[in-house]
Structure 1
Amino acid sequence: MGELSPLFAPERIAVVGATDREGSVGRAIMENLLDAFVGEVVPVNPGREEVFGLPALDSVADSEADLAVVVVPPTVAVDVVREAGEAGITNVVVITAGFGETGTEGATREQELTEVAEAYDIDLVGPNSLGIMSTPVGMNASFGPENATSGRMSFMSQSGAFITAVLDWANDQGIGFKDIVSLGNKAVLDESDFVREWGDDEETDVVIGYLEGIDDGQAFIQTAREVTQETPIVLVKSGRTDAGAQAASSHTGTIAGSDQAYEAGLEQAGVIRAESVQELFDAARVLESQPLPETDGVAVITNAGGPGVMSTDSIGDSRLSMASFADETLEAFSETLPAEGNIYNPVDVVGDADNERFRDALDVALADENVGSAMVLACPTAVLDYGELAEDTVAMQAKHDKPVAACFMGGARVKPAAETLSEAGIPNYFDPARAVAGLDALSRFRDISEREYREPTTFDVDRERAREILSSVEGRTDTRLGVEAMGLLDAYGIPTPDGDIVDAPADALEVAERIDGDVVMKIVSPDILHKSDIGGVKVGVPNEEVYDAYEDLVSRARNYQPDATIIGVQVQEMVDLDSGVETIVGMNRDPQFGPLLLFGLGGIFVETLEDTTFRVAPVSEPEAEAMTREIDAAPLLRGARGRDPADVEGVVETIQRLSQLVTDFPAILELDINPLVATPDGVEAVDVRLTVDPDEL
């Protein structure tokens, strides 16, 4: 058990605000506790002599409890928690609402509650919580209408109403739980604390949850990474808005909404993200009870051609594959199946198959080393007994110790068979796609549990030079930087073309003359972000035209925006775009997870195609390398259609160096390197733009 085990296994619970008044929360909690709790329940209510026949105490300080459940009005709740802390009670659940969710006054009250809990080292759930449950001790310290049945899932939710709905449904489905927590406002304990606790809990096989937000994304990633080496975590995360991108000015900021941060963060944490309640429990049930597959090959055994094709399609859409049978397996099928059957995957035992034919086919398939898991897909017939088929499926799964998903299609006749399967830990699904999704979750968690996390590389960089460049925004109303900050990339070892920024035509010519060949010239202004749109970029300028080009660029900028700040013109070595791939490497700072890195196809099409992938920084070399493989344009980097492969190693290193830069400097709010041109000979950052918060320097 972990540090929070006393919270879930108290011997004496004080209910502060206990009452037997009809319709009250205090009554509901008392009734729930008195129903099954194996320990003592102590009512605390100075206005009552007794509650439900139990003597009522005047103060929680007199309760000698090891858990206090607080149901008093918010105006006195903080004082009650303080009294509990002074009395040495270090586990508290605050049911009371009226805190941070209600406005400024409530937020102030919640801050005070947090300070009291920290002062007395109290593990506090809530406020604004439905309560907590733990089935091993029969504890239902909540005001929900349902008790949980015993199981090996532990469940947290940011919505109390969601818990009540789930329990009502789960009891009907025969789904049990170990611990349940309504997180409430998370003033003290949050999702990371409970993930850590249940990861250490031998009685919890799967952690599941419904979250609306994660307060400290970095802490959650670190905690969940450790837990998911052994214990699967499946979460529904609601809220897929892009509100965080509305004020963004970079390409990365425009593309990277809040959900991308959660998607990347949860993936890096090893969490399986479910898109619906159905997916949540489909994944959780199979992870709770089934072994992990050694391979991704699935054998489908069916008596129905149509559903067999449906399952094949679903497997094709997943990370799984249809298993290729060994020769001896095909021979065994040939000997036992009728001529009209199909010995190849999906194995069709034909509509007249009896239980013996089904059982033998499943036995043969599971014995094949190419088969990591199997799916028993059956439609009702007059010669098939679903009850016997369920028993055979359970026996074959136990014999071969490989995961099996059942898809017994039908209505009332399926229920007894489904109960037999469920008791053995084999979920039954009506829809073949759901059965495939369950097997897919096992495959995903196998890979998660086998991950080897590496520490990010630390490069030798010039932090002081970088800080000096970033500090140039101090005292300015506009804190954006463009190509004038190319030195920032150079300070962190990211290759850039030769060149300089000048503020006079003669100086432009001097820079151009030291560069071999024609040059690129760009207007430099923090007020003009899309320089190409106004003709603020000239490509392939020979030395004899540099002077006039300088004058023309400044004139165009003035005509476009008379009040724009013109820093000068950048004169830069030309990069051969035709021989390389234009990519983008960027960062947008997420409020919960911190620096969110982006990599993708760059150039002028970045926002149109949005061929991008994300990670939360800092990233290791394997994570950076994975980013280069995840975009649709990945084959271009590796030499598609006869092209020479680009310097992928250089791209990977640039991602890592940018990761270190934005981790070192929280003042960088968003940043784009676009394009980062990757050629067979190396990479070069051609353009950069960023926004800085001077208060963070």
Structure 2
Amino acid sequence: MGDLSPLFDPDAVAVIGATDRDGSVGRAITENLQDEFDGAVVPVNPSREEVLGLPCVQSLEAGPPVDLAVVVVPPDAAVDAVRDAGRAGVENVVVITAGFGETGSEGANRERRLRELAAEYELSLVGPNSLGIMSTPAGLNATFGPEIAREGSISLMSQSGAFITAVLDWASEQDVGFRHVVSLGNKAVLDESDFVRAWGSDPETDVVIGYLESIVDGESFLEATREVTTDTPVVIVKAGRTAAGAKAASSHTGAIAGSERAYRAGLAQAGVIRAESVQELFDAARALSGLTPPDSDGVAVVTNAGGPGVLTTDAVGDADLSIARFTDETSAALEASMPAEANTHNPIDVIGDATVERFETALDLALADPNVGSAVVVSAPTAVLAYEDLAAAIVDCQRRHGKPIVTSLMGGSRTGAADRVLREAGIPNYFDPARAVGGLDALSTFGRTRKRTLDEPTRFDVDEERAREILNRATERSGTQLGVESMDLLEAYGIPTPPGSVVTGPDEALAVASELGEEVVMKLVSPDISHKSDIGGVAVGVALEDVPDTYETLLTRARNYQPDATVLGVQVQEQLDLDDSTETIVGVNRDPQFGPLLVFGLGGIFVEVLDDTAVRVAPIGRDEAASMVEEIRANPLLRGARGREPADIDAIVETIQRLSQLVTTFPAILELDVNPLVAGPDGVQAIDLRVTVDTEKL
């Protein structure tokens, strides 16, 4: 999608379906446009000569040129109106009308027609089923909400129109301002990725925030936000969390990497700040829109109240921040300037009788400390303290030191004047100290995001054609489910596997086993039986003389468990020495929004019970792969706990990257489990494999 700035800064707006009928959407939008918009407002209604004192035109082609058309007529007529807009040369359209994809197959067909018309006429189209759009610099309120937002530097998109009206009403009382506001509606054409890109390149938008229930194209959204968050923060509330994706998956990986984990992993990789509530969304937005990120995570706390000071310290500990350790010089200066009863360590308690001067002295000394990146000022009201004067002193301190400060000047009516002083300087004030720390945490997170180096995926020298042949051959033989009979797929991508073969008879099994050692592992090979261990389909430590009987036993168990199951034979595999090794899992589940999700964690048959895994959206580079290994709780086990030799971490990291390359190259791979991937001091070995393939994509 091209430049969207004309959408928010039109010279003339047509309302298709404008009317003066009380209580109608057409009237509400026309009135809202008349309130503050300096451009021309053109009502379009063949049944009226005039609407609210404005001359009405019969059609877009019969009226003056417009830059934006707002459509409020019934669904079928709305499709015709969009076509007419395209023919009239209008480039921007907002479809308020409902009755499209949200209503069933007939509505979905109408919505498809909107997409076709938008493509044909190159329209920037918002909606349908939208509240509309706002732009405060242009005085543009093309919505049927009650009033335009206050002017500010936050741009807001929402999948819920009701969310917008409620937020704007609250924001008006809180004096929170917005630059642009978009109700996304059904996202038939323009979606969240388009607005992230548009606002990310807008120098007047300090922060992009959004309420989303779904993301149309996860890969596009991650690409857009990864780019934008190098300069502009993006904060999202994602509603509609569900485990449906995990329930629908058949593999270990699918059960682990459900829809919610996909969102969490993808948004974090792209540098998006995830808010868990509307309150968190705006707490973060207020800090991000007014403050510069700190240079370090060390926080100084200055308070006149012990209890709130403890709450603040706890909140810092819960966040990705730390209580700064003062230098000896700072500690000595604080001791010399504070009363004997004061606590001069961090958090600094200037005690209840503190004046503005004492607060300012403590804050000055703390901010001058090189170990301090930011500060939280927490105060309870007292008779000797004027909040407005304290606010002015805090502003002066921030200007002198250039380090971000957030405040929690607790109270009700006493805080009004102080709020205004702080707000003008871009310093957010929160009633709850924990919320103040939350805002500071978001600011610090964005600071780290801006400094990050984008991790480019490594391209390994692999045998792609061999992998393609294996996938094609295997699916021709056994359908969509592949198992250990396709271990060569891993070898084609440089992932080590133990020696072994799939055999179809007891004598062949003995012949293969004789070449592998005194004891072997034997596994049932069946695309129809997912978890072979559950039915006794895996035998470990099988002596050579027992190989033929074990072969027959495994086949009997398969027939008893599922008589109609396809059995391809038995895999005979070298028995590995696992004494110094750890069973891990590396897998992939292809998410409908974000594409391939990589999973790494502690493996074996209890992988879902232990739930010790890390998830990322592929493709990934070495840094992300290494962070997956570091992230799991069992990492000390891999590093060599209780005298064990450490596993070859580099080999694990490389295997994750190679698997990332495999599933990125082959979109036909829907799910893949390497479980276990045995990690030992001398490298890794992929012991078992399960793959689900979409044969139509091969």
TM-score (norm 1): 0.98
The answer to whether structure 1 residue 612 and structure 2 residue 650 are counterparts is no
Distance 1:398 1:517, change over 3 A: farther
- After TM superposition, the structure 1 = structure 2 runs for residues 35-184 of structure 1, keeping only pairs within 5 Å, are 35-61=35-61, 62-184=63-185
**Residue 683 of structure 1 aligns to a residue in which SS?**
strand
Structure 1 residues 535 and 510: CA distance shift in structure 2, 3 A? same
- Kindly provide the amino acid, as one letter, of the partner of residue 588 in structure 1: N
The answer on whether the counterparts of 1:14 and 1:63 sit within 8 Å (CA) in structure 2 is: no
> C-alpha displacement at 1:348, in angstroms?
0.8
Q: CA deviation at 1:406?
A: 0.4
Measure how far apart 1:505 and its partner are: 1.1
In 2, the alpha carbon distance for the partners of 1:611 and 1:479 equals 28
Contact 1:378–1:407, Cα closer than 8 Å, also in 2: yes
Distance 1:461 1:609, change over 3 A: same
* Shift of residue 663, structure 1, vs aligned partner: 1.2
- Amino acid of the structure 2 residue aligned with 1:19: T
Task: Quote the residue 1:26 is aligned against.
Answer: 26
**Alpha carbons 1:473, 1:692 under 8 Å: kept:** no
2: distance between equivalents of 1:484 and 1:620? 29
Find the counterpart in structure 1 of residue 424 from structure 2: 423
- 1:235 partner amino acid: I
Greater mean alpha carbon deviation, residues 595-604 or residues 28-37: 595-604
Q: Distance in 2 between matches of 1:347 and 1:158?
A: 44
- Tell me whether 1:203 sits opposite 2:182 in the alignment: no
Partners of 1:7 and 1:684 lie apart in 2 by: 56
Q: How far off is 1:508 after superposition?
A: 1.0
1:676 aligns to what SS in structure 2? strand
- 1:121-156: CA deviations, max 9, x gaps? 111111111000001110000101121010000000
| Aligned pairs for 1:239-258 within 5 A | 239-258=240-259
Q: CA offset at residue 475 of structure 1? A: 6.0
Query: Which residue of the partner structure matches residue 655 of structure 1?
Result: 656
Q: How does 1:376-415 map to 2 (within 5 A)?
A: 376-415=377-416
Q: Which residue of 2 aligns with 1:299?
A: 300
Question: Does the residue aligned with 2:137 lie in a helix, a strand or coil?
Answer: helix
CA distance in 1 between counterparts of 2:378 and 2:256 reads 42
Q: What amino acid maps onto 2:253 in structure 1?
A: T
Q: Does 1:479 align with 2:480?
A: yes
Question: Could you tell me how far apart the structure 2 residues matched to 1:541 and 1:2 are?
Answer: 65
Q: Which residue of 2 aligns with 1:439?
A: 440
Distance 2:247 2:424 in 1: 50
Shift of 1:642: 2.4
In 2, Cα distance between the equivalents of 1:63 and 1:571? 80
| SS state at 1:501 partner | strand
Deviation at 1:477, TM superposition (A): 8.1
Paired AA for residue 26 in structure 2: G
The range that moved more, 235-244 or 514-523, is: 514-523
Distance 2:393 2:230 in 1: 33
Q: CA deviation at 1:528?
A: 2.1
Aligned residue number for residue 643 of structure 2: 642
Q: Using the alignment, how far apart are the partners of 1:111 and 1:461 within structure 2?
A: 41
Amino acid at match of 1:102: T
Ranges in structure 1 where 5+ consecutive residues have no aligned partner: none
| Alpha carbons 1:149, 1:177 under 8 Å: kept | yes
Contact in 2 for aligned 1:158/1:182 (Cα 8 Å): yes
Letter in 2 for 1:344: H
SS in 2 for 1:6: helix
State the match for 1:226 in structure 2.
227
Local SS of the residue matching 1:136: coil
Q: CA deviation at 1:457?
A: 1.4
Aligned to 1:12: 12
Residue range with higher mean Cα deviation, 61-70 or 277-286: 61-70
Count of aligned pairs: 697
- Secondary structure (helix, strand or coil) at the match of 1:60 reads coil
Equivalent position SS for 2:501:
strand
Query: What letter is aligned with 1:540?
Result: G
Q: Which residue does 1:320 correspond to in 2?
A: 321
8 A contact 2:70–2:94 mirrored in 1 = yes
d(CA) in 1 for partners of 2:558 and 2:201? 62
In structure 2, the partner of 1:514 is: 515
Give, in angstroms, the shift of residue 248 of structure 1: 1.5
Matched AA of 1:17:
G
Contact 2:513/2:520 (8 A) holds in 1? yes
Q: Is structure 2 residue 585 aligned with structure 1 residue 584?
A: yes
1:470-509 alpha-carbon deviations (Å, 9 max, x no partner): 2246467852111112111111111111100000111111
SS at 1:360 equivalent: helix
Cα deviation, 1:279-300, whole Å, max 9, x if unaligned, reads 0000011000011101100000
Q: Is the 8 A contact 1:15 1:30 kept in 2?
A: yes
Aligned twin of 1:273 = 274
TM-score by length of 2: 0.98
Which AA in structure 1 matches 2:594? Answer: F
Q: Which amino acid aligns with 1:6?
A: P
Task: Tell me which residue corresponds to 2:239.
Answer: 238
Unmatched runs of 5 consecutive residues or more in structure 2: none
Give the C-alpha shift of residue 605 in structure 1: 1.9
1:285 aligned partner = 286
Matching of residues 671-690 of structure 1 within 5 Å: 671-690=672-691
Match of 1:587, SS state, is: strand
CA contact (8 A) 2:8 2:135 kept: yes
